[in-house]
Amino acid sequence: MDQYPDIMHKGRQRRNSAIVGTVRAALRQNRLLFAYQPVVSAATGIVDYFECLLRIRDEGGNILPGAEFITAVEHFGLIGLIDRFVLERAVQELGTYPQVRLGFNVSGLTACDRPWLRALSSRVRNRPDLAGRMIVEITETAALDDIEETARFVIDGSFIRNLADNPENRVFLRHLLGLTKGFGLNTIAECVESAADAALLRAEGIGYLQGYHIGAPTTQRPWLGTSVPEIA
């Protein structure tokens, strides 16, 4: 029995190592890509921007969501490499499509990393139009250290799913919205998966909505009006 946790740990290590190998190969072979999910105004339903969600297309052509590899990448200290790729690809997309606004996630560690910050600065310097169409989301509580410098506050999907059936989460949401309004922040609710949850969020005064009820992620560029999106 004493050996069981050790066996489990070694099993996780092997799986994580294999996943990291897959990510490295995807980087070398240009098989990392974005899936785009709309973020809409709760008041008007108009798309404000598309969030760029990282995906891998494996050697068999299957699309792997970030949840299947990001934890392993963080564990092996490669998240900075991934965040640099995301920045470069997002800048490329914004430069190619001047009509669109795009958002992307970076880790709290990356947000404090001087080389990454220099790269960000160099990409948007003297390009105010591009900078004005880029939304950077810091995925950890590091953002709260400088909350007065934060423009938008994303409410994690774990507090949003099935909100209409969860009175505790509704109380939490109400208090959280009071806090963010006090700081003058716009709020974004992730993982909005039903009309009931969307209606409740609008009634509470949320600023923006994101989730499968609003629009599923797709690897095709929705702003180009592709007729048959590839869900990812």
Which tens digit of pLDDT belongs to each residue from 163-198? 989 999 999 999 999 988 888 888 999 999 999 999
Q: Which residues contact 208 (CB under 8 A, 6 or more apart)?
A: 39, 40, 41, 42, 48, 152, 186, 187, 188, 189
Judged by DSSP in three states, 29 sits in coil
What are 45-82's pLDDT values in tens digits?
999 999 999 999 988 899 999 988 998 898 888 899 99
Q: Kindly report the pTM of this predicted structure.
A: 0.86
Provide the β-strand partners of residue 106. 138
